Amino acid sequence: MAFLLPNLSPCLLQPKPFHPTKPFSLSLSSPSPSPSPSSSVSVSPALSSVETPTVQGVEVGTPRDEQDNQHRDDFFVNLGLAVRTLREDMPLLFTKDLNYDIYRDDITFTDPLNTFTGIDNYKLIFWALRFHGKILFRDISLEVYRIWQPSENMILIRWNLKGVPRVPWEARGEFQGTSRYKLDRKGKIYEHKVDNLAFNFPQPPKPAVSVLDLVTACPASPNPTFLWAPVDVQPSSWVEFYRAVRETLDRQDHLLTQDGFLPCS
C-alpha cells in the first residue's frame, strides 16, 4: 500500500471545497438579452396571500348555509322562549300582565265573533279581561291543560276558564277553548286565534231541581264544537263579561288609568 500513495494524482488526495447551496428561484423570461418587466414571472411566497375574489360584494368563500343555519337557530331560540312564556303567563292571566316580547307589533287576535289587529289592541284585550274579571266575579282563573305543537310554526294551548259570579243567583261556570299561536320565520307570534269553544254553564233554576243539577256540566269535546249559543236568550255574568271586554275595545279612547293597568289613549 505504501508504494501506491506516491503514484496517486494530487487532485485525488486534496479534499474538494464545500459550497453552500444557493436559494432556488425560478424565473421565466423571454430569450431577448434585455427582457422587459412585463415579460417575466417570478414565483415567490407573496402568492400565498392572494385575497379571495368577490362577486357583487359577496365573498365567494362564505356559504349561504351558514346564514340559513343562523336563522334556524334564532327561530328555535325564539320558539322555546314563546312556549316557556306562554306556559308561565296563561295561568296568571287574571292577576298580572303578559310578557309581550314574544309577539309582533302587528299581531292579530281572532275569536269566533271578532278580529283585532295591533299590539295595542292586544294589550287592551288582556287589560279588559283582568279589569272586568275582578268586577263581575268573586273568583276567576284559567287552567292550562296542554301545550303542544301540531306543526313547526304553530303552538296550541288547551285551557279551561272557571269563575264564580258575584251575584248570588248564579252558580259557578266554566268553559274550555283552544288558543292557536302562529309564528313567523323569526319565531315571533303574529296571530292568536281562540276557537274550539265548549261552554259548560249551569242551566237557570227550574222547579224541582237540586243544587247538584245546577253545577253539573257536560264534558267538553276535544273536537271543534263552537257552542256559541245566542247570548241574548239567557243573560249571565259570563255574557256580561264578554260584552264588557268587547265594549272596552270599542271605547278605548274614553278609558282612564285604573289599578295600575295599561293606560289607554
pLDDT of residue 51: 53
Give the number of other CB atoms < 10 A from CB of residue 36: 9
The answer to whether position 224 is within a domain reads yes
Residue 172 burial (C-beta neighbours within 10 Å; 0-12, 13-18, 19+): middle
Helix or strand or coil: residue 145? strand
Nearest CA-CA partner of 171 in 209, 221, 208? 209
For the chain, 265 residues long, the average pLDDT of each consecutive 10-residue run is 51 55 51 51 48 52 71 91 96 95 96 91 95 94 94 94 91 90 96 86 50 42 42 66 87 50 43
The answer to whether position 260 is within a domain reads no
The answer to whether position 16 is within a domain reads no
The answer to whether position 39 is within a domain reads no
pLDDT of residue 9: 53
Report the domain count for the chain.
1
CATH code: domain of residue 122: 3.10.450.50
pLDDT of residue 136: 93
The answer to whether position 76 is within a domain reads yes
Q: Which residue has the cell 349561504?
A: 64
Owning domain of residue 187: 65-254
The answer to whether position 35 is within a domain reads no
Nearest CA-CA partner of 83 in 8, 179, 167, 165? 179
DSSP-assigned states of every residue in 187-203: S-EEEEEEEEEEEEPPP
What residue type is 226 in one-letter code? Answer: F
DSSP-assigned states of every residue in 157-189: EEEEEEEEESSTT---EEEEEEEEEEE-TTS-E
